[in-house]
Protein backbone atom coordinates (compact mmCIF):
# COMPACT_ATOMS: atom_id res chain seq x y z
CA UNK A 1 0.00 0.00 0.00
CA UNK A 2 1.25 3.53 -0.84
CA UNK A 3 0.22 6.40 1.45
CA UNK A 4 1.04 10.09 1.10
CA UNK A 5 0.13 12.10 4.22
CA UNK A 6 0.22 15.90 4.07
CA UNK A 7 0.78 16.63 7.76
CA UNK A 8 3.30 15.32 10.30
CA UNK A 9 0.48 14.24 12.65
CA UNK A 10 -1.08 12.18 9.90
CA UNK A 11 2.30 10.70 8.94
CA UNK A 12 3.20 9.54 12.46
CA UNK A 13 -0.22 8.03 13.09
CA UNK A 14 0.00 6.15 9.76
CA UNK A 15 3.47 4.88 10.70
CA UNK A 16 2.15 3.73 14.09
CA UNK A 17 -0.92 2.01 12.66
CA UNK A 18 0.62 0.39 9.56
CA UNK A 19 4.26 -0.21 10.56
CA UNK A 20 5.05 1.26 7.14
CA UNK A 21 8.45 2.32 5.85
CA UNK A 22 9.28 5.94 5.14
CA UNK A 23 9.96 7.24 1.65
CA UNK A 24 11.40 10.77 1.22
CA UNK A 25 13.43 11.64 -1.90
CA UNK A 26 13.77 7.93 -2.75
CA UNK A 27 17.41 8.21 -3.86
CA UNK A 28 18.54 5.58 -1.33
CA UNK A 29 15.18 3.84 -0.90
CA UNK A 30 14.74 2.71 -4.54
CA UNK A 31 18.36 1.71 -5.30
CA UNK A 32 18.30 -0.46 -2.14
CA UNK A 33 15.34 -2.41 -3.58
CA UNK A 34 17.17 -3.33 -6.77
CA UNK A 35 14.68 -5.16 -9.01
CA UNK A 36 12.25 -5.85 -6.15
CA UNK A 37 9.03 -3.98 -5.43
CA UNK A 38 8.57 -2.41 -1.97
CA UNK A 39 6.96 -4.79 0.53
CA UNK A 40 4.24 -3.73 2.98
CA UNK A 41 3.15 -0.13 3.40
CA UNK A 42 5.14 2.81 2.07
CA UNK A 43 4.53 6.15 3.77
CA UNK A 44 5.71 8.88 1.40
CA UNK A 45 6.50 11.91 3.58
CA UNK A 46 7.61 14.17 0.74
CA UNK A 47 4.49 16.39 1.04
CA UNK A 48 5.16 17.36 4.69
CA UNK A 49 5.99 21.03 4.16
CA UNK A 50 6.29 21.60 7.91
CA UNK A 51 9.56 19.61 8.11
CA UNK A 52 11.22 21.20 5.10
CA UNK A 53 13.50 24.27 5.00
CA UNK A 54 16.09 25.97 7.16
CA UNK A 55 15.38 28.49 9.92
CA UNK A 56 17.58 30.50 12.27
CA UNK A 57 16.36 30.14 15.87
CA UNK A 58 17.75 32.10 18.79
CA UNK A 59 20.31 29.51 19.87
CA UNK A 60 20.35 27.03 17.01
CA UNK A 61 19.89 26.55 13.28
CA UNK A 62 17.06 24.18 12.41
CA UNK A 63 17.34 22.16 9.22
CA UNK A 64 14.05 20.40 8.48
CA UNK A 65 14.51 16.70 7.76
CA UNK A 66 12.97 17.00 4.31
CA UNK A 67 15.32 19.81 3.28
CA UNK A 68 17.08 18.81 0.06
CA UNK A 69 20.79 19.17 -0.58
CA UNK A 70 20.01 21.83 -3.20
CA UNK A 71 18.19 23.85 -0.55
CA UNK A 72 21.20 23.54 1.77
CA UNK A 73 23.46 24.85 -1.02
CA UNK A 74 21.16 27.79 -1.80
CA UNK A 75 20.43 28.89 1.78
CA UNK A 76 22.35 31.80 3.30
CA UNK A 77 24.12 30.21 6.27
CA UNK A 78 26.91 31.26 8.67
CA UNK A 79 30.51 30.54 7.74
CA UNK A 80 30.82 27.42 9.90
CA UNK A 81 28.31 25.80 7.50
CA UNK A 82 30.69 26.06 4.52
CA UNK A 83 31.72 22.42 5.03
CA UNK A 84 28.09 21.28 4.96
CA UNK A 85 27.48 23.24 1.75
CA UNK A 86 30.60 21.77 0.14
CA UNK A 87 29.41 18.29 1.12
CA UNK A 88 25.95 19.03 -0.30
CA UNK A 89 27.55 19.82 -3.67
CA UNK A 90 29.26 16.41 -3.57
CA UNK A 91 26.11 14.33 -2.95
CA UNK A 92 25.74 12.43 -6.24
CA UNK A 93 24.75 14.82 -9.02
CA UNK A 94 22.57 17.92 -9.27
CA UNK A 95 19.52 15.71 -9.93
CA UNK A 96 20.25 13.69 -6.75
CA UNK A 97 20.79 16.92 -4.77
CA UNK A 98 17.37 18.15 -5.96
CA UNK A 99 15.61 15.05 -4.60
CA UNK A 100 17.83 13.71 -1.80
CA UNK A 101 17.12 15.00 1.69
CA UNK A 102 19.27 15.60 4.75
CA UNK A 103 17.23 13.18 6.90
CA UNK A 104 17.35 10.50 4.20
CA UNK A 105 21.15 10.70 4.16
CA UNK A 106 21.33 10.36 7.97
CA UNK A 107 18.67 7.64 8.33
CA UNK A 108 20.23 5.55 5.57
CA UNK A 109 23.36 5.61 7.76
CA UNK A 110 25.90 4.70 5.11
CA UNK A 111 29.50 4.95 6.37
CA UNK A 112 30.05 7.04 3.21
CA UNK A 113 27.16 9.49 3.76
CA UNK A 114 28.57 12.89 2.80
CA UNK A 115 26.26 14.78 5.14
CA UNK A 116 27.55 13.13 8.30
CA UNK A 117 31.10 14.49 8.89
CA UNK A 118 30.08 18.17 8.42
CA UNK A 119 27.13 17.73 10.76
CA UNK A 120 29.29 15.95 13.35
CA UNK A 121 31.72 18.89 13.43
CA UNK A 122 28.76 21.23 13.90
CA UNK A 123 27.77 19.19 17.00
CA UNK A 124 24.35 18.51 15.47
CA UNK A 125 21.43 16.87 17.26
CA UNK A 126 18.53 15.14 15.56
CA UNK A 127 14.88 15.54 16.52
CA UNK A 128 12.63 12.50 16.15
CA UNK A 129 8.84 12.56 16.31
CA UNK A 130 6.41 9.65 16.65
CA UNK A 131 2.74 9.38 17.63
CA UNK A 132 3.89 8.99 21.23
CA UNK A 133 6.08 12.09 21.39
CA UNK A 134 9.31 13.84 20.52
CA UNK A 135 12.93 13.17 21.48
CA UNK A 136 16.30 14.71 20.71
CA UNK A 137 19.62 12.88 20.37
CA UNK A 138 23.16 13.89 19.45
CA UNK A 139 23.79 12.82 15.85
CA UNK A 140 26.92 10.93 16.97
CA UNK A 141 24.71 8.78 19.23
CA UNK A 142 21.88 8.43 16.67
CA UNK A 143 24.27 6.82 14.17
CA UNK A 144 24.73 3.44 15.79
CA UNK A 145 26.71 1.62 13.08
CA UNK A 146 26.90 0.68 9.42
CA UNK A 147 23.28 1.24 8.18
CA UNK A 148 22.12 1.29 11.81
CA UNK A 149 20.51 4.16 13.69
CA UNK A 150 18.64 4.52 16.96
CA UNK A 151 15.49 5.54 15.03
CA UNK A 152 12.44 3.51 15.98
CA UNK A 153 10.40 2.37 12.95
CA UNK A 154 7.51 4.70 13.84
CA UNK A 155 9.70 7.80 14.16
CA UNK A 156 10.23 10.56 11.60
CA UNK A 157 13.50 12.49 11.72
CA UNK A 158 11.93 15.94 11.58
CA UNK A 159 14.97 18.19 12.02
CA UNK A 160 18.68 18.54 12.52
CA UNK A 161 19.54 21.13 15.19
CA UNK A 162 22.87 22.93 15.18
CA UNK A 163 23.93 25.09 18.13
CA UNK A 164 24.85 28.68 17.14
CA UNK A 165 28.13 28.67 19.07
CA UNK A 166 30.92 28.93 16.51
CA UNK A 167 29.24 30.66 13.60
CA UNK A 168 32.28 32.63 12.48
CA UNK A 169 34.58 29.59 12.52
CA UNK A 170 36.23 28.59 9.25
CA UNK A 171 35.20 25.20 7.93
CA UNK A 172 35.87 22.92 5.02
CA UNK A 173 34.98 19.53 3.56
CA UNK A 174 37.24 17.34 1.42
CA UNK A 175 36.13 14.19 -0.35
CA UNK A 176 38.43 11.72 -2.05
CA UNK A 177 36.91 9.38 -4.62
CA UNK A 178 38.18 7.35 -7.54
CA UNK A 179 36.94 10.13 -9.86
CA UNK A 180 35.89 13.74 -9.50
CA UNK A 181 32.10 13.55 -9.87
CA UNK A 182 29.21 11.26 -8.87
CA UNK A 183 31.34 9.09 -6.66
CA UNK A 184 31.23 7.26 -3.34
CA UNK A 185 34.10 8.44 -1.20
CA UNK A 186 37.23 6.52 -0.24
CA UNK A 187 37.69 8.97 2.59
CA UNK A 188 36.25 12.36 3.48
CA UNK A 189 37.04 14.97 6.08
CA UNK A 190 35.15 17.88 7.60
CA UNK A 191 36.94 20.43 9.78
CA UNK A 192 36.02 23.56 11.72
CA UNK A 193 38.57 25.93 13.26
CA UNK A 194 37.76 28.88 15.55
CA UNK A 195 40.39 31.36 16.75
CA UNK A 196 40.64 34.19 19.29
CA UNK A 197 41.82 37.78 18.75
CA UNK A 198 45.47 36.64 19.09
CA UNK A 199 45.07 34.12 16.29
CA UNK A 200 45.22 31.09 18.58
CA UNK A 201 42.94 28.12 18.01
CA UNK A 202 40.14 28.16 20.60
CA UNK A 203 38.17 25.30 19.13
CA UNK A 204 38.88 22.71 16.45
CA UNK A 205 36.64 19.90 15.32
CA UNK A 206 37.56 17.25 12.79
CA UNK A 207 35.53 14.27 11.53
CA UNK A 208 36.46 11.56 9.04
CA UNK A 209 33.95 9.50 7.05
CA UNK A 210 34.21 6.26 5.02
CA UNK A 211 36.94 4.95 7.30
CA UNK A 212 34.83 3.31 10.02
CA UNK A 213 31.28 1.99 10.42
CA UNK A 214 30.14 5.56 11.04
CA UNK A 215 32.08 8.78 10.56
CA UNK A 216 34.24 9.57 13.60
CA UNK A 217 35.39 12.75 15.33
CA UNK A 218 39.13 12.90 16.10
CA UNK A 219 38.90 14.25 19.64
CA UNK A 220 42.60 13.82 20.54
CA UNK A 221 43.58 15.85 17.47
CA UNK A 222 41.01 18.50 18.37
CA UNK A 223 42.60 18.83 21.84
CA UNK A 224 46.10 19.00 20.34
CA UNK A 225 45.13 21.90 18.05
CA UNK A 226 43.60 24.10 20.77
CA UNK A 227 46.00 26.85 21.84
CA UNK A 228 48.25 26.56 18.77
CA UNK A 229 48.71 29.55 16.45
CA UNK A 230 46.33 29.26 13.48
CA UNK A 231 49.08 29.79 10.91
CA UNK A 232 50.08 27.96 7.73
CA UNK A 233 51.81 24.77 8.82
CA UNK A 234 49.21 23.96 11.51
CA UNK A 235 48.30 20.85 9.50
CA UNK A 236 51.71 19.34 10.32
CA UNK A 237 50.50 18.94 13.94
CA UNK A 238 48.36 16.04 12.69
CA UNK A 239 50.06 12.67 13.20
CA UNK A 240 49.08 9.09 12.37
CA UNK A 241 48.31 8.54 16.04
CA UNK A 242 45.46 11.08 15.78
CA UNK A 243 43.73 8.77 13.27
CA UNK A 244 43.55 5.88 15.78
CA UNK A 245 39.73 6.17 16.20
CA UNK A 246 39.39 5.10 12.55
CA UNK A 247 39.06 1.47 11.50
CA UNK A 248 39.20 1.51 7.70
CA UNK A 249 38.50 -1.66 5.73
CA UNK A 250 39.69 -3.10 2.41
CA UNK A 251 36.92 -2.98 -0.18
CA UNK A 252 36.37 -2.46 -3.90
CA UNK A 253 37.13 1.24 -3.59
CA UNK A 254 40.43 1.11 -1.66
CA UNK A 255 42.59 -0.82 0.76
CA UNK A 256 42.53 0.01 4.45
CA UNK A 257 46.17 1.09 4.22
CA UNK A 258 45.45 3.51 1.37
CA UNK A 259 42.43 4.89 3.23
CA UNK A 260 44.52 5.56 6.35
CA UNK A 261 47.28 7.22 4.36
CA UNK A 262 44.86 9.31 2.29
CA UNK A 263 42.92 10.35 5.41
CA UNK A 264 46.10 11.68 7.03
CA UNK A 265 46.75 13.85 3.97
CA UNK A 266 43.11 14.99 3.80
CA UNK A 267 42.99 15.93 7.49
CA UNK A 268 46.22 17.94 7.19
CA UNK A 269 44.89 19.68 4.07
CA UNK A 270 41.55 20.42 5.68
CA UNK A 271 43.27 22.10 8.65
CA UNK A 272 45.46 24.16 6.29
CA UNK A 273 42.40 25.19 4.26
CA UNK A 274 40.59 26.33 7.41
CA UNK A 275 43.65 28.37 8.46
CA UNK A 276 43.69 29.98 5.00
CA UNK A 277 40.05 31.01 5.40
CA UNK A 278 40.37 32.67 8.81
C1 LIG B 1 23.19 8.01 -8.24
C2 LIG B 1 23.28 8.28 -6.74
C3 LIG B 1 24.40 8.93 -6.23
C4 LIG B 1 24.50 9.17 -4.88
N5 LIG B 1 25.62 9.79 -4.42
C6 LIG B 1 25.74 10.05 -3.11
C7 LIG B 1 26.91 10.70 -2.61
O8 LIG B 1 27.82 11.05 -3.35
N9 LIG B 1 26.98 10.94 -1.28
C10 LIG B 1 25.99 10.57 -0.41
O11 LIG B 1 26.12 10.83 0.78
N12 LIG B 1 24.88 9.97 -0.85
C13 LIG B 1 24.73 9.70 -2.17
N14 LIG B 1 23.60 9.06 -2.63
C15 LIG B 1 22.60 8.63 -1.65
C16 LIG B 1 21.39 9.58 -1.44
O17 LIG B 1 21.17 10.41 -2.55
C18 LIG B 1 21.48 10.46 -0.18
O19 LIG B 1 21.80 9.67 0.94
C20 LIG B 1 20.17 11.22 0.07
O21 LIG B 1 20.41 12.27 0.98
C22 LIG B 1 19.05 10.32 0.59
O23 LIG B 1 17.89 11.11 0.82
P24 LIG B 1 16.44 10.66 0.31
O25 LIG B 1 15.49 11.72 0.71
O26 LIG B 1 16.49 10.34 -1.15
O27 LIG B 1 16.21 9.33 1.16
P28 LIG B 1 15.24 8.10 0.84
O29 LIG B 1 15.84 7.27 -0.23
O30 LIG B 1 13.84 8.56 0.63
O31 LIG B 1 15.33 7.34 2.26
C32 LIG B 1 16.55 6.79 2.72
C33 LIG B 1 16.29 6.05 4.04
O34 LIG B 1 15.99 6.97 5.07
C35 LIG B 1 14.66 6.78 5.58
N36 LIG B 1 14.13 8.15 5.75
C37 LIG B 1 14.11 9.12 4.81
N38 LIG B 1 13.65 10.27 5.35
C39 LIG B 1 13.37 10.01 6.65
C40 LIG B 1 12.90 10.80 7.73
N41 LIG B 1 12.62 12.11 7.60
N42 LIG B 1 12.72 10.22 8.92
C43 LIG B 1 13.02 8.90 9.10
N44 LIG B 1 13.48 8.10 8.12
C45 LIG B 1 13.67 8.65 6.90
C46 LIG B 1 13.94 5.92 4.56
O47 LIG B 1 12.96 5.10 5.15
C48 LIG B 1 15.09 5.11 3.98
O49 LIG B 1 15.38 4.02 4.82
C50 LIG B 1 23.46 8.78 -3.99
C51 LIG B 1 22.31 8.16 -4.52
C52 LIG B 1 22.22 7.90 -5.88
C53 LIG B 1 21.00 7.22 -6.42
Query: Do residues 173 and 190 lie in contact, with contact meaning Cβ atoms separated by under 8 Å?
Result: yes
Residue ranges in the chain assigned as alpha helix (H): 8-18, 29-33, 69-74, 82-90, 94-99, 102-108, 116-121, 139-142, 219-225, 256-277
* Per-residue model confidence as pLDDT tens digits over 121-145: 999 999 999 999 999 999 999 999 9
Residue 24 Cβ < 6 Å to ligand 1: yes
Mean model confidence pLDDT for the chain: 97
CB atoms within 10 A of CB 19: 12
Which pLDDT band holds residue 18 (cuts at 50, 70, 90)? very high
> What's the CA-to-centroid distance between 105 and ligand 1, angstroms?
4
Which residues does 252 contact at the CB level (< 8 Å), separation at least 6?
none
Give, as one character, the DSSP assignment of residue 229: B
Residue 215 Cβ < 6 Å to ligand 1: no
Residue 115 CA: nearest ligand 1 atom is 11
Question: From atom 7 of ligand 1, which residue's Cα is the shortest distance away?
Answer: 91
* Per-residue model confidence as pLDDT tens digits over 32-59: 999 999 999 999 999 999 999 999 999 9
Query: Do residues 156 and 11 lie in contact, with contact meaning Cβ atoms separated by under 8 Å?
Result: yes
Return d(Cα 228, Cα 154) in angstroms, integer. Answer: 46
Which pLDDT band holds residue 8 (cuts at 50, 70, 90)? very high
Residue 82 Cβ < 6 Å to ligand 1: no
Return d(Cα 224, Cα 219) in angstroms, integer. Answer: 9
Q: Which of 137, 131, 124, 130 is nearest to 207 (CA)?
A: 124
The values of phi and psi at residue 125, to 5°, are -110, 160
Which residues does 174 contact at the CB level (< 8 Å), separation at least 6?
188, 189, 266, 269, 270, 273
Does this model's pTM top 0.95?
Answer: yes
Question: From atom 5 of ligand 1, which residue's Cα is the shortest distance away?
Answer: 92
Q: Which of 159, 184, 208, 175 is nearest to 51 (CA)?
A: 159
Model confidence at 181: pLDDT above 90: no
Question: Which whole number is the average pLDDT over 182-196?
Answer: 96
> What's the CA-to-centroid distance between 25 and ligand 1, angstroms?
7
Q: Which of 246, 238, 160, 259 is nearest to 193 (CA)?
A: 238
Residue 108 Cβ < 6 Å to ligand 1: yes
* Per-residue model confidence as pLDDT tens digits over 229-277: 999 999 999 999 999 999 999 999 999 999 999 999 999 999 999 999 9
Q: Using a pLDDT cut of 90, give the percent of the chain over it.
A: 98
Model confidence at 180: pLDDT above 90: no
Residue 209 Cβ < 6 Å to ligand 1: no
* Per-residue model confidence as pLDDT tens digits over 99-110: 999 999 999 999
Question: From atom 27 of ligand 1, which residue's Cα is the shortest distance away?
Answer: 104
The predicted pLDDT at position 93 comes to 96
Decide the pairing of beta strands 21-23 and 42-44.
parallel
Residue 29 CA: nearest ligand 1 atom is 29
Question: From atom 38 of ligand 1, which residue's Cα is the shortest distance away?
Answer: 104
Amino acid sequence: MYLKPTTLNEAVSLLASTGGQILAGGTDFYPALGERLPQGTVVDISALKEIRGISMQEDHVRIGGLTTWTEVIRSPLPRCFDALKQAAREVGSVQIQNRGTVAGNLCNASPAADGVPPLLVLDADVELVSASGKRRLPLAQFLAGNRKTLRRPDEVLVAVLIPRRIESAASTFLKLGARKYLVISISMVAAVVQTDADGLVTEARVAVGSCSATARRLFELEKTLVGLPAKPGLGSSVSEMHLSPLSPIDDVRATAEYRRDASLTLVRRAIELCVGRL
